[in-house]
Chains A and B, each alone.
Chain A
Amino acid sequence: MLVFEKNNMTDEIEQLVNKYGKSRSSLLPILQDIQRKHKFIPDFAQQEVARLLDIHPVEVYSVITFYSFLNTKPKGRNIIRLCQTITCDLAGKENIAKAIERELGIKFGETTKDNKITLEYVNCLGMCDQGPALLVNERVYSKVTPEKAIQILNEIK
């Protein structure tokens, strides 16, 4: 990270700490905001969060690695999550997965070369009555067909 990037990151985290309060229970909302903006939580950000909340950096790392929506490594600008749980599975999630993989030329768990899209599986999205379900960033799509899935992909910037 360049020095000015580090400074920006520090400013940003200071603002978040002011917004949520300097206490351990603010940790998750702070990390969620960093994740939302940067799509991952860089090492430097983890250290700064730890310093500003007065906890050990390892504590921050341990929390990030526990939650599947937080990550320490960069991901694509958009994260596409396909529900893999039983009802969506019965409703044909496998065909959707194959169609998306073919179209993007990557497998689930990977990111496209232009860093635009990361593919992931997710557990139950609570759309079981309208499966298969797809979560694009925080937006949910239901009753997805292979064709519709590709249409959704094409709309992503």
Chain B
Amino acid sequence: MDDRRARFEAQVLPHLDAAYRFARWLLPAPGDADDVLQEAVLRAFRGFDTLRGSDAKAWLLAIVRNCHSTALKQQQRRAFVPLPEENDAQDGYAMTATTPDPENASMRRDEQRTLDRLIAALPEEHRTVLMLREIEEMDYRQIAQVTNVPIGTVMSRLARSRAALKARWLQEVEGEPRAMR
């Protein structure tokens, strides 16, 4: 393996899971994310020399977003974007189980399915900003870099997606206001 490839594997590939998650939020339908991820990694490898000490994770995710836009443009003839099926929620290679308590596990699975559905129903630009903040724990500057919008837009999208998710969650799960736990 040549040196460039070795540096790429050391600096960029640790972020493969984050890039995969991001692709899944862009493209909830199973399989689509795989293609976009692979294309993005290849592009990243070809453009690796532009990385130069900056934030490899934000850089890789920005390339995923670019690949997604490219794919989207080609698919614009399609009339709809499929939402994930119920049993797709666990698709993908699950992280180590985080619920040791089996009694809670099924309840939490239901809750998680509902949450996945509500998140998938958010507009893409809101969904991605929310997940980059809450799951990837990126700061506003990184999110702006990944999504290619100014920080002010990141802030307003974040506010709107949080408000929308809260409202829908209340409607679906709690059935009453102000009790999201």
Determine if chain A interacts with chain B. Answer: no
B-to-A contact residues, CB < 8 Å: none
A-to-B contact residues, CB < 8 Å: none
